[in-house]
Structure 1
Amino acid sequence: MDEARVAMDPKRLEHHVKRAQEAIAGDKKEVPPFWINKYKKEAAKNWDIFYKRNTTKFFKDRHWTDREFEELACKGDQQVRCLEVGCGVGNFVFPALADNPSLFIYACDFSKRAVEMVKNNDKYDEERCQAFVCDLTVDPLTDNVPADSLDLVSALFVFSAIPGEKMADAIRNIYRVLKPGGYILFRDYGLYDEAQVKFSKASDKKLDQNLYVRQDGTLSYFFSEEDLASRFEAEGFKTVVNGYIYRETTNRRLELNVDRIFVQAKFQKPL
């Protein structure tokens, strides 16, 4: 295995956060408004180009989701209906379907190319999965998913690709298709993650507070616990779980240690 992750030592974490704060505070570079608007406007196009270049080879399958989110485990023959937003090429969808026989998954992404790859996968079965193209911030999910019908929505590293001013639209969109009592299972990049430190040290990467652009034009936002909770609670959700996950990642091939910070949460639509 090329990569190993262990819990971060508290002293190492303290040192990392201090270093991250200094790097972010020292990032005074400004991206011209024209380019900020261009990157935000062309988000779907840039992700489509990303999948054209990387096909299904970039992201690893997410076999850890059952361990982190027990709600995915189907009990008996009772069907659980889930929507995966920002499904990419199916790195969550296909492992989840294999591990949970009574799970049905709707899967959407705003990259047409990614959705095509999901549908062309040998494991794609319309009896258990329905994939469709959708921009969460614009297109009503109810065009493909019945209102108030879902037990779960998985949002794994997808909201970080959405500009802050559009996140409320995406959250309201999800709210309409969840059942009362249904959950959003959330994981994404946390404030002071090593990737944010690298962005802060580079030139012309910061578009807004905690929002950066990668070399390929795709966006990356970094959440604090407070920021994340306030966004979902403002749209009517109840915060059930919300916290940081700290990992010291070792890339054995490159002999490189990287400090990762993720934020993980569960939000519930009130009964």
Structure 2
Amino acid sequence: MDLTNNFPDEIIKETKSLTEDEKQKLASQSSRLVPEYQANQLEKNAQKHWDLFYKRNETRFFKDRRWTTREFVELLDEDDTNAEPSTRKYLLEVGCGVGNLVFPLIEEQKTKFFFYACDFSPRAVEFVKQNALYDENVIKAFQCDVTKANQLTDVIPSESLDIVTMIFVLSAIHPDNFAGVFETLFKLLKPGGVLLFRDYGLYDMAQLRFKAGHKIDENFYMRQDGTRSYYFSDSELSEMVKSVGFEVKVCGYVHRRTINVKEKIDTPRIFIQGKFIKPQVTINS
């Protein structure tokens, strides 16, 4: 059970101060890295691992993300179900999973958005299409590897999107591909469009808990099920998005506590959150 309030999370710039014990835990992770061959296999079989994840968990693992409109007011819109296509706003959810972000938006508000929803896992996309709220007048779901630009641009025209959301998605991708993903999303957004971002922050408890043999590279780890996770610093993320042309409106850490009273578990979490704007005027190189 995640005990949260109804107020927007506070965005702070300071990284977590590590205790000596935590510093030792991080140091011990580097004593035995994931072998290069295994790391390459994880990259090669990334889609298979995520498809197996959804085969095991189906739609049960992730909770609906009903907090997103509290954190990102850009997701709120006028109450108009009869909007003409020409007045619609267009939103792409990168890494839609089984629809835990998009369907609460459709369900909770009458919206002028048209949603594109893509995921790496074909099985996850099928779960989206099987949802009772799936209506192709409102949403188009498709399988996509966002590290391959053409798989997005073949479906979505350049400079056609008002909003892109990336919620706990980029961390699952190899860091070598981060910049290319941001470049593609920058091209798809209209001038003035916004990229809404949330993911795992540097020194999150999940990062500190990895044992030796799970670290692939700096801040990049292998989970038991073969999926991977990266932990971002605010300075790194800001510089990355600015390098492809975004303006940084907000970028910082969110400190939360996940509490399960029944299991007597109190886990501090660190996420990173950002809003990145495509300038109204862009300069062509």
TM range (shorter): over 0.9
- The alignment status of 1:99 with 2:108, answered yes or no, reads yes
Which amino acid in structure 2 is aligned with residue 127 of structure 1? Answer: N
1:5·1:250 contact (CA, 8 Å) conserved in 2?
no
Q: Which residue of 2 aligns with 1:210?
A: 219
Per the alignment, residue 70 of structure 2 pairs with 67
Question: Contact conserved, 1:161 with 1:219, CA < 8 A, in 2?
Answer: yes
Q: Does 24-33 or 84-93 show the bigger shift?
A: 24-33
Structure 2 counterpart SS, 1:185: strand
- Indicate whether 1:110 and 2:120 are aligned: yes
SS in 2 for 1:180: strand
Correspondence for 2:32: 29
Give 1:75 deviation, angstroms: 3.0
Structure 1 residues 14 and 89, CA gap change in structure 2 (3 angstroms) = closer
- When the two structures are aligned, how many residues end up with a matched partner? 265
Residues 16 and 259, structure 1, Cα contact 8 Å, conserved in 2: no
Report if aligned partners of 1:86, 1:156 keep a CA contact under 8 Å in 2. Answer: yes
CA distance in 2, matches of 1:184, 1:99: 22
* d(CA) in 1 for partners of 2:251, 2:17: 23
Counterpart AA for 2:125: V
1:270 is matched with 279
Please give the alpha-carbon distance, in whole angstroms, between the structure 1 residues aligned to 2:89 and 2:22. 40
| Percentage of identical aligned residues | 47
Counterpart contact for 1:74–1:80, Cα < 8 Å: no
Q: 2 CA distance for matches of 1:132 and 1:31? A: 32
Is residue 230 from structure 1 mapped to residue 233 from structure 2 by the alignment?
A: no
Change (3 A) 1:117 1:32: same
Tell me the secondary structure at the aligned position of residue 116 of structure 1: helix
- Whether contact under 8 Å (1:238, 1:268) holds in the other structure is yes
CA distance in 1, matches of 2:240, 2:37: 27
Task: Pick one of 179, 188, 192 that aligns with 2:199.
Answer: 188
> How far apart are 1:5 and its partner, in Å?
4.0
- How does the TM-score come out when normalised to structure 2? 0.88
For 2:157 and 2:19, how far apart are their aligned partners in 1? Answer: 43
How far 1:237 moved relative to its partner? 1.0
* C-alpha distance in structure 2 between counterparts of 1:116 and 1:18, whole Å: 46
Distance 1:50 1:165 in 2: 23
Q: Please identify, of 107-116 and 140-149, the stretch whose mean Cα deviation from structure 2 is larger.
A: 140-149
CA RMSD of superposed structures (Å): 2.0
Distance 1:15 1:168 in 2: 28
Indicate conservation of the 8 Å contact 1:206/1:213, yes or no: yes
In the TM superposition, what is the alpha-carbon distance from 1:243 to its structure 2 partner?
Answer: 0.7
Amino acid at match of 1:178: L
SS class of match (2:259): strand
Rounded Cα–Cα distance in structure 1 between residues aligned with 2:21 and 2:278? 38
The letter of the residue matching 1:186 is F
246 and 114 in structure 1: CA distance in 2 versus 1, 3 angstrom threshold = same
- Gaps spanning 5+ residues in structure 2: where? 81-86, 281-285
Within the alignment, does 1:128 sit opposite 2:138 as a pair? yes
Aligned to 1:175: 186
Structure 1 position 176, deviation (Å): 1.6
- Gapped regions of structure 1 (runs ≥ 5): none
